[in-house]
Amino acid sequence: MDVDLRKLRYFVVLAEELNFGRAAQRLHIAQPVLSRQIRALEDELHVPLFVRDKRSTELTAAGRQLLEDGRPLLAAAEALKRRVAQAARGTTRFSIGFMPGITVTDWVRAFTARHPDVEVELVRTTWDDQVEALHDGRVDVSVVRLPIDQRGLTVRPIFAEPRVAVLPAEHRLAGKESIEIIDLAAERVLNDPDAVPEWRDISVQLREGTAPPARRYTSIEEKLEDVASGQGIAIIPKSTSEYYNRPDVVHVPVGDIGPNQVCLAWISTRRSPLIHDFAEIVS
């Protein structure tokens, strides 16, 4: 049986929203159309994907499995379309993703010296899309910051760098030459707790259940605005703190916290010689 990618895309959006009205709105289709497509997909797969009642819509075990497997399939299809369109234009383009604070200039210069006829495109990524950009074909390689989901990827370490605490300029720890993670136990840290397990394990707010709901940041600039306004502190790589230097925040080294690992990543099944040439330059 062939999987209809349109139905699969409808399913993924509904699985993310768990609400037919919101999902139909995101897809720009009528709600009855979405319902018919989901029923057709369930008939084709011979399994129920959702449990529905008047109050809620939930995924079944089969639905959860399809969501896990369906997302990378849709991303691969999108990457295929991008590369086919590029080939049709008759141009050779090589796209490089990079995270904030990382400078790729020297690597790009060395690469273009080897491949003067290749059009190089640089794409700034974020914590949310540094891997997604690889899977959907926006970039051929990506300079990423760990941790990431490494499934389906080849990942090569490049370097590690210290992480620092970014504090409001008037913070009680702002004048310190360095601090320890225990000094931050009573602080609100704006990172995802799992990204800073050293703090997560000693956080007073997390232990007492008084931590405010975590905010999802789409850029480092947003996070630094909240630090400057006294909403909390952040743990970020040293190069990022230096690149986004501003007078109303300070950064202080944290002596007993692990470094951030910077790596080069690409889709494992890709066999492009350009990818391996760039990897050779970076390493």
Q: Is the per-residue pLDDT at 15 higher than 70?
A: yes
Domain encompassing residue 13:
5-74
Q: Region 160-179: what's the mean pLDDT?
A: 95
Residue 202, domain member (yes or no): yes
The verdict on 56 and 179 lying in the same domain is no
Give me the pLDDT at residue 1, please: 58
Same domain, 267 and 144: yes
CATH of the domain at 49: 1.10.10.10
Q: What percent of the chain has pLDDT over 90?
A: 67
- pLDDT of 268: 94
Amino acid at site 192: D
Please report, as a single letter, which amino acid is at residue 249. V
82 half-sphere exposure, CB direction, 13 A CA radius: 17
Would you state the pLDDT for residue 58? 92
Task: Provide the pLDDT confidence category of residue 177 given band limits of 50, 70 and 90.
Answer: very high
- Residue-level pLDDT at 72: 82
| Other Cβ atoms within 10 Å of 51 Cβ, number | 11
Question: Whose CA is closest to 145, among 132, 161, 134?
Answer: 161
> Looking at the structure, do residues 106 and 119 belong to the same domain, yes or no?
yes
Q: Are residues 181 and 51 in the same domain?
A: no
Mean pLDDT taken over the chain: 91
What angle in degrees, to the nearest 10, is found between the helix axes of 105-114 and 273-282?
Answer: 130
Identity of the amino acid at 21: G
Domain co-membership, 168 together with 245:
yes
Give the residue, 162 or 218, on which the prediction is more confident.
162
Percent of the chain with pLDDT over 70: 98
**Pairing relationship of beta strands 93-98 and 141-145 according to DSSP bridges:** parallel
For 228, other C-beta atoms within 10 Å of its C-beta total 16
Tell me the CATH number at 186: 3.40.190.10
- Same domain for 131 and 207, yes or no, is no
Determine the Cα–Cα distance for residues 257 and 88; give it in Å rounded to an integer: 49
- pLDDT recorded at residue 215: 84
Asked if residue 270 and residue 253 are part of one domain, the reply reads no
208 and 167 in one domain? yes
Question: Which helix (DSSP H) or strand (DSSP E) does residue 135 occupy?
Answer: helix 132-135
pLDDT tens-place string over residues 183-227: 999 999 999 888 899 999 999 999 998 888 878 888 899 999 999
Q: Are residues 275 and 140 in the same domain?
A: yes
Co-location of 103 and 183 in the same domain: no
Mean pLDDT value of segment 24-38: 91
The answer to whether residues 147 and 267 belong to one domain is yes
125 in a structural domain: yes
Q: Are 267 and 146 found together in one domain?
A: yes
The C-alpha atoms of residue 261 and residue 146 are separated, in whole angstroms, by 6
In the predicted model, is pLDDT for residue 252 greater than 80?
yes
Q: With respect to residue 168, please indicate whether it lies within any of the assigned structural domains.
A: yes
Beta bridge partners of 263: 144, 157
Tokens of 117: 């006829």
| Helix, coil or strand: residue 111 | helix
> Which residues make beta-bridge pairs with 252?
165
Q: Is 80 a member of any domain?
A: no
Looking at residue 90, its pLDDT comes to: 61
Q: Per-residue pLDDT tens for 74-122?
A: 888 887 787 777 767 666 789 999 998 899 999 999 999 999 989 999 9
For residue 5, the tally of other CB atoms under 10 A from its CB is: 13
Rounded Cα distance between 200 and 12, Å, is 32
As for how many domains the chain has, the answer is 3
| Residue entry with tokens 């051929």 | 140
Confirm if 155 and 264 have CB atoms less than 8 A apart: yes
Where is pLDDT greater, at 62 or 215? 62
Residues facing residue 202 across a β-bridge: none
